[in-house]
C-alpha cells in the first residue's frame, strides 16, 4: 500500500475499531462459516489471517489449528483482538502488525492464508495475492472473501458509491478478476462462489451526517442498468435496503 492509503485506512478503521467487534457483517455473515467449511482446517496447521480487523476470522479458525497469526496495519484493530481473544479462551494467536502487500514472513511458512472483507482497501491486490502465495507452503490454500462488483461501467459506479461512504475504499474486483489474479499467480482454483446480502441503508450509512446520507441515497436512486440490477435498491419505504455481493475464492499452491 502507499503511505497515503495506509494513513487513510488507519484513520478510518482506528476511529471505528470497537464497532467492528459487533458488526454483524464482520462478526457473523454467511461467508465466515463458509470459509471454515471450505478449507477444512487441520490441527497441525499454521494459519495467517491478513487484515484481520477485529479478529473474527482468526477467532473462528484458532480452535481448529495449531496457531493463527492475526495481522493488520491498524494498531487499534489489533488491540481489539488482544482484548477479546482471552475472553474467548484463545491462547494460540500471534497478533502482529503486517502489510498485506509486503508480508514480514518467510517463504512457505503457512498452510492456510485467509483474508476476509478487506482486499477492497488494498492499492495492489495483485501484490497481496503474490505475497500470500509466497508465504504458503506447497499445497497450501489461499482463501479470500471480499465484496465484489460487476465488470465495466456498473462496477465503476458501485465502487464510487462505496468510496463515497468509506474514504479508505480503493476498489472492489469482480469474481472473474479474482479468478484471473489467482490463475496469474499459479494458484489452482478449488472453489469460487458469490453470495448476496441485503443491507439496511440506515445502519450502513450511520457513520455519516444527514447531508452525506442524502448523497448516498441519491446514488442508489440514480443507479441504472447493470448497476441498478446489482444493487437492487428498495428505498421508497422503510426499511430502506439494497443489495451487496461477496465473492469467495479458494486457490491451492502447487505441491
Q: Read off the pLDDT of residues 196-205 as tens digits, 9 standing for 90 and up.
A: 999 999 999 9
Q: Give φ, ψ of 113 to 5 degrees.
A: -120, 130
Question: What number is the average pLDDT over the span 169-198?
Answer: 98
Name the nearest CA neighbour of 173 among 144, 139, 150, 207.
150
96 forms bridges with which residues in the sheet? 71
What is the per-residue pLDDT across 19-52, written as a single tens digit (0 to 9) for each? Answer: 555 555 555 688 999 999 999 999 999 999 999 9
Each domain of the chain, given as residue ranges in start order, spans 3-151+169-198+245-253
CATH architecture of 3-151+169-198+245-253: 3-Layer(aba) Sandwich (3.40)
Whole-model pTM: value is 0.91
Q: 4-18, 91-105, 125-139, 182-196: which has the minimum mean pLDDT?
A: 4-18
Amino acid at each position: 500500500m502507499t503511505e497515503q492509503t495506509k494513513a487513510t485506512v488507519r484513520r478510518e478503521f482506528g476511529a471505528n475499531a470497537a464497532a467492528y467487534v459487533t458488526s454483524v457483517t464482520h462478526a457473523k455473515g454467511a461467508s465466515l462459516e463458509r470459509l471454515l467449511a471450505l478449507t477444512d482446517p487441520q490441527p497441525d496447521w499454521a494459519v495467517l489471517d491478513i487484515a484481520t480487523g477485529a479478529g473474527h476470522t482468526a477467532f473462528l479458525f484458532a480452535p481448529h489449528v495449531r496457531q493463527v497469526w492475526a495481522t493488520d496495519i491498524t494498531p487499534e484493530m489489533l488491540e481489539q483482538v488482544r482484548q477479546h481473544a482471552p475472553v474467548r479462551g484463545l491462547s494460540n494467536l500471534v497478533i502482529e502488525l503486517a502489510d498485506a502487500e509486503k508480508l514480514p514472513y518467510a517463504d512457505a511458512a503457512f498452510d492456510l492464508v485467509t483474508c476476509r472483507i478487506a482486499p477492497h482497501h488494498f492499492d495492489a491486490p495483485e501484490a497481496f495475492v503474490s505475497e500470500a502465495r509466497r508465504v504458503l507452503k506447497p499445497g497450501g490454500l489461499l482463501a479470500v472473501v471480499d465484496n465484489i462488483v460487476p465488470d465495466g461501467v456498473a462496477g465503476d459506479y458501485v465502487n464510487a458509491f462505496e468510496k463515497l461512504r468509506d474514504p479508505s475504499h480503493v476498489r472492489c474486483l469482480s469474481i472473474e478478476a479474482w479468478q484471473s489474479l489467482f490463475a496469474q499467480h499459479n494458484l489452482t482454483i478449488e472453489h469460487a462462489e458469490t453470495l448476496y446480502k441485503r443491507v439496511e441503508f440506515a445502519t450502513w450509512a450511520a457513520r455519516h451526517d444527514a447531508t452525506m446520507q442524502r448523497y448516498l441515497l441519491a446514488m442508489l436512486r440514480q443507479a441504472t442498468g447493470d448497476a441498478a440490477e446489482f444493487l437492487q435498491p428498495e428505498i421508497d419505504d422503510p426499511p430502506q435496503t439494497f443489495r451487496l455481493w461477496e465473492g469467495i475464492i479458494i486457490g491451492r499452491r502447487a505441491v
